[in-house]
């Protein structure tokens, strides 16, 4: 099964393909300067993102003044499909584009949209998400970083961790507790905090993938003064902003897993009977994900809301990628541990780690079962909202 589209959607696709043919960056320039974190965007990639913005192809679902063309959900899908087909990474500042700017467009003031969101979308600045804390990774309600109102400012004290790209970001969308007496899910607010603010310290650290993979950060706030005008959304209503922020991330998240599975299908080289069995499972999982994803997309195009179905897609996609990457690593034997290495052809407009060593590809697969809602959270949603099981 594959989705079919009407003439209007196919005209939209053809126009985008024409744009790509005319405007894609020079591959030699792209290969000469590679990004080193999720908020470090090379010059050529900034120019490329700005070109997409100016032509309405950055986020087609947005209105024209915010880099789009008011595209329908099916038009947005074929846009992502064409990017995937050409192995083009949408933005080398994914959280800035997909979460921070999107949250500002949903909850920010007119000034915040102009002064922050548009600049992020145009790649004039980059942004990271300050959400997770020590002891409060997936539990946003457990955050302890505090912001106290003092005249025209908030004074922020606390710590964040796992903050991707913070050492290269210009601003952090930061979740803070502004009413310590309120229940856990209440009293949370959101602040835009420039990273050059006095008292803000960023400490990058490497991941399991190796010492050269430095994207995560600890971020410390010591009496950091933030103008009250940088409050995003109403005071103490940060929980709503958080749900909206992650909602932007989750809408078509399944498509990214389908893309990774297709890459694994291309690069996985089964050698034994067991390897071929695992490879066949990967192919079937990919087909199942695309079938379920196509059905969910069709429902969304009809205006039907099915949030629980997204949990099924996220769980299936993330765990299928992880399982396949593990089996590909096993099939490669000792060679799979050689790092750095490339296990597929390098695509200049994509991340190098998408075809890194088999060990790296397997290690990175764990992020998929955590980011955007852990597998445990997805299973709870499915149990309660799909299967109708009791809470206890």
Could you tell me which of 200, 196, 192, 180 has the C-alpha nearest to residue 231?
192
Could you tell me which of 170, 179, 173 has the C-alpha nearest to residue 160?
173
Q: Model confidence at 2, in pLDDT bands (50, 70, 90)?
A: low
pLDDT of residue 173: 98
pLDDT over 70 (residue 249): no
Residue keyed to tokens 């052809």: 345
Q: What are phi and psi of 154, to 5 degrees?
A: -105, 140
pLDDT over 70 (residue 248): no
Segment 66-115, tens digit of pLDDT = 999 999 999 999 999 999 999 998 899 999 999 999 999 999 999 999 99
pLDDT of residue 300: 85
297 vs 251, which has greater pLDDT?
297
Could you tell me which of 193, 63, 183, 187 has the C-alpha nearest to residue 121?
63
Q: Model confidence at 138, in pLDDT bands (50, 70, 90)?
A: low
pLDDT over 70 (residue 166): yes
pLDDT over 80 (residue 350): yes
Question: What span, in angstroms and rounded, lies between the C-alpha atoms of 203 and 218?
Answer: 5
- On whether the CB atoms of residues 386 and 357 are closer than 8 A, the answer is no
Strands 171-177 and 127-130, by their bridges, are parallel
pLDDT of residue 286: 96
Question: Is the bond preceding 39 in cis, omega lying within 30 degrees of 0?
Answer: no
DSSP for 198-223, written as a single string: TTEEEEEEEETTEEEEEEEEEEEEEE
Report percent pLDDT > 90 for the chain: 78
Question: What span, in angstroms and rounded, lies between the C-alpha atoms of 286 and 378?
Answer: 19
Q: What share of the chain is helix, strand, coil (3-state, %, to 5)?
A: 50, 15, 35
Looking at the annotation, which residues are catalytic? 249
């Amino acid at each position: 099964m594959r989705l079919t589209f009407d003439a209007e959607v196919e005209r939209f696709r053809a126009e985008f393909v024409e744009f790509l043919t005319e405007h894609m960056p020079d591959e030699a320039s792209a290969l000469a300067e590679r990004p080193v974190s999720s908020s470090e965007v090379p010059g050529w990639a900034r120019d490329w993102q700005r070109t997409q913005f100016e032509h309405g192809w950055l986020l087609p679902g947005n209105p024209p003044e915010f880099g789009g063309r008011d595209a329908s959900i099916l038009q947005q899908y074929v846009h992502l499909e064409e990017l995937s087909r050409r192995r083009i990474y949408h933005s080398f500042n994914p959280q800035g584009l997909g979460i921070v700017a999107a949250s500002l467009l949903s909850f920010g003031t007119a000034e915040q949209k102009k002064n922050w969101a548009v600049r992020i979308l145009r790649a004039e600045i980059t942004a990271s998400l300050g959400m997770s804390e020590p002891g409060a990774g997936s539990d946003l309600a457990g955050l302890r970083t505090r912001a106290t109102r003092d005249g025209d400012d908030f004074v922020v004290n606390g710590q964040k961790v796992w903050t991707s790209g913070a050492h290269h970001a210009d601003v952090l969308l930061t979740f803070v507790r502004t009413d310590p007496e309120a229940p856990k899910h209440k009293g949370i607010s959101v602040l835009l905090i420039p990273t050059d603010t006095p008292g803000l310290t960023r400490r990058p650290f490497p991941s399991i993938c190796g010492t050269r993979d430095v994207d995560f950060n600890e971020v410390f706030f010591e009496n950091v003064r933030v103008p009250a005008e940088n409050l995003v959304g109403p005071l103490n209503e940060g929980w709503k902003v958080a749900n909206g922020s992650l909602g932007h991330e989750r809408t078509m998240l399944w498509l990214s897993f389908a893309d990774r599975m297709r890459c694994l299908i291309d690069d996985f080289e089964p050698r034994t009977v067991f390897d071929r069995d695992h490879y066949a499972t990967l192919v079937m999982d990919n087909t199942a994900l695309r079938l379920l994803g196509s059905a969910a997309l069709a429902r969304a195009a009809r205006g039907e809301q099915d949030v629980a179905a997204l949990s099924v897609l996220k769980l299936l996609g993330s765990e299928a990628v992880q399982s396949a990457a593990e089996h590909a690593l096993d099939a490669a034997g000792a060679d799979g541990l050689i790092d750095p290495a490339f296990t597929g052809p390098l695509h200049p407009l994509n991340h190098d780690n998408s075809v890194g060593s088999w060990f790296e590809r397997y290690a990175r697969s764990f992020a998929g079962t955590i980011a955007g809602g852990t597998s445990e959270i997805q299973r709870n949603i499915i149990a309660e909202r799909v299967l109708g099981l009791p809470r206890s």
